Amino acid sequence: MLKRLNDRLYAWIEARVDPFADVPRTPPKKSAMAFLMEHLRPFRTILILAALVGTVVAALELGLIWYAGRIVDLMAAGPETFWADHGGELVLAGVLLLLLRPIAVGLNGAILFSGISTNMLPQSRWRSHRLLLAQPVGFFQSDFAGRLANRVMNTGVAVEDTSFILFEGFWQAIAFAAVTLILLAGLDWRLALPLALWIAAFVWFALWLAPRAGKLGEKFSHSNSMVTGRVVDAYTNIETVKLFAHAEREEAFARSGMVRMRLRFGALMRLFGEMQGALAAFNSAALLAVVAPALWLWSAGTITIGEVAAAVAMALRLNTMTVFIMWMTVRLFEHIGTMREGLESIAVPLTVTDKPGAPALKVDKGSIRIRGLTHHYGRGWGGLDGIDLDIAPGERVGLVGPSGAGKSSLVNLLLRFRDAEAGRIEIDGQDIATVRQSSLRQAIGMVTQDSSLLHRSVRANLLYGRPDATEAEMIAAAEKAEALDFIRTLEDPKGRTGFDAHVGERGVKLSGGQRQRIALARVILKDAPILILDEATSALDSEVEAAIQETLYEMMEGKTVIAIAHRLSTIAHMDRIVVMRAGRIIEDGPHDALLAEDGLYARLWRRQSGGFLAKEAAE
């Protein structure tokens, strides 16, 4: 019965907040306190309960001390009639001690741990993760994945622990100090006054010291994230590290970061060491501030021995709390520093956003119309310069040109990984800047030359293309991509086999050709009306490529296709070939017509070596 009531209480407290509520993806302000307040807003009910119950717990703690002083006075009268006169009162006090205090402390713990900590940590991490996922691809290309992940995770801990500290530490300490002053003033104002002055001095000292710790903590958090980013970068690219025999270089790179982190951590630890001596001085002063006037008032007959004992006990309790409060204050400012560091990534404004109420893209035919498309990445040069291009529904277009011609830029803008600086792209007459990004990308299937996979099972990677696909549809897609045979032979270190085998981070447990075939199968399963192939068979050997070419042509049936290729033989049979150079379209037409024009395409075709563009052709 008690367990059922306890479970219901905890469930009710936990349910006061939904940490995964669907809130707008609006980047927060770069103020740590504003960020914290935003996270506390859903916890209003819990925070009110925490304040009320915390005050009751503090009052009960002081009530015990006060009553201990009363027992001393009762005992001073002698043992002869002690139990006869006060036995009932003592039994009642014992019952209240056994029942009321555990209930209050237990309820306080339930509110703090289940109401605040259980929900605040996932809420902060969830909201931060959602914000980062909404950032464009370029955002992730400009930072370490490890550092971004570290900031999301550490900021969550900082927000949760700060919220906990505010109520488990500061609120109860404030309530304890306030009730202590009230009780001492009730005995004699000359007891309360020196303690009040000491409390004011301690608060000033804490507020003077803690910001210094916060700045040092922020610097340490920066260096910690930097080290994490460097270490994760080395692990993620371990093949490159081994291939170039640069383990020692990576050791030195990580070591330089760790040296800086050690220096910053050492500065923080030195401050903590200095703080210990200052706390000892403050605590000694607190004892003298209460004990000396208490003894003087007792000797003057103003207060009793029991009241002296209670006052001294209160001072001792306050003494033990000062160390705790100082550490909590330092931790609070450390967390503020961690939040500031995390907000450098979390509070970055979104550069590619959906307009309010943006509709979903509706693709009936798959026509693509590009007018005046210009994007120089904010530099005023490079990228694309006034591209005009029409692609009819179901038309297959090859896109070629030397490196830096603008092919990838065009595809990135079509996928709206970035917003164009000028011009527009329309799909079936709909400006892609006015529709939901998710619906745009759902309508486009893409296979890239760098086919990285998620560190999950083969099945999870394939169903990423279409989560509602049946087992039979998934197997058929793998078979069309010439992937079924090798998938059936897979086994990971945990004994999972076939479609259940995990492929490792970015698919590193598979060969490049195997990764590309799974990526092809994923796009086959997606069956989007617009298809983009960026060197889709570059990682395949000639035999497998020949087998897959037929599958690719089947995939293209009824779809609008853009195929980027350096191996021109793979796109020679396209309906049209668009040739780009320096961000502009310079040739456009079928393969034979472009050869007859004897322009750049013809020169590239003649200069190919083994089907690839020769170096001089790209210059």
Q: pLDDT value at position 49?
A: 92
Residues 43-96 pLDDT 10s:
999 999 999 998 888 888 888 888 888 888 888 777 777 888 878 888 888 888
Q: pLDDT value at position 547?
A: 64
3-state secondary structure 51-91: HHHHHHHHHHHHHHHHHHHHHHHHHHCCCCCHHHHHHHHHH
How far apart (Å, rounded) are the C-alpha atoms in residues 585 and 406?
9
Residue in this structure with the two tokens 């270490």, named with its chain if needed = 231
The answer to whether residues 369 and 322 belong to one domain is no
The answer to whether residues 336 and 418 belong to one domain is no
Q: pLDDT value at position 618?
A: 41
Cα 195 to Cα 176, 288, 312, 519, distances in angstroms: 13, 9, 12, 71
Q: pLDDT value at position 615?
A: 42
The answer to whether residues 66 and 195 belong to one domain is yes
Name the more confident of 400 and 226: 400
Average pLDDT over residues 309-321: 81
Question: 373 pairs with which residues across the strands?
Answer: 387
The answer to whether residues 111 and 229 belong to one domain is yes
| Domain count along the chain | 2
The answer to whether residues 220 and 71 belong to one domain is yes
Cα 270 to Cα 88, 263, 264, 275, 319, distances in angstroms: 55, 11, 10, 9, 23
Whole-model pTM: value is 0.78
The helix/strand/coil state of 576 is strand
How far apart (Å, rounded) are the C-alpha atoms in residues 7 and 292?
49
The helix/strand/coil state of 435 is coil
How far apart (Å, rounded) are the C-alpha atoms in residues 523 and 446?
7
How far apart (Å, rounded) are the C-alpha atoms in residues 7 and 228?
39
Last residue of a domain, one of 295, 315, 346: 346
Here the CATH number for the domain that contains residue 583 is 3.40.50.300
Using only C-alpha atoms, what is the Rg of the chain?
35
If phi > 0 it is left, if psi is from -120 to 50 it is alpha, else beta; for residue 582 that is left
If phi > 0 it is left, if psi is from -120 to 50 it is alpha, else beta; for residue 134 that is alpha
Residues 502-550 pLDDT 10s:
988 777 788 878 888 898 899 999 999 999 988 766 655 665 666 667 7
- Domain ranges, residue 34: 27-346
Last residue of a domain, one of 296, 315, 346: 346
Q: pLDDT value at position 290?
A: 82
The answer to whether residues 181 and 261 belong to one domain is yes
Q: Structure tokens of 176?
A: 């304890």
The answer to whether residues 69 and 121 belong to one domain is yes
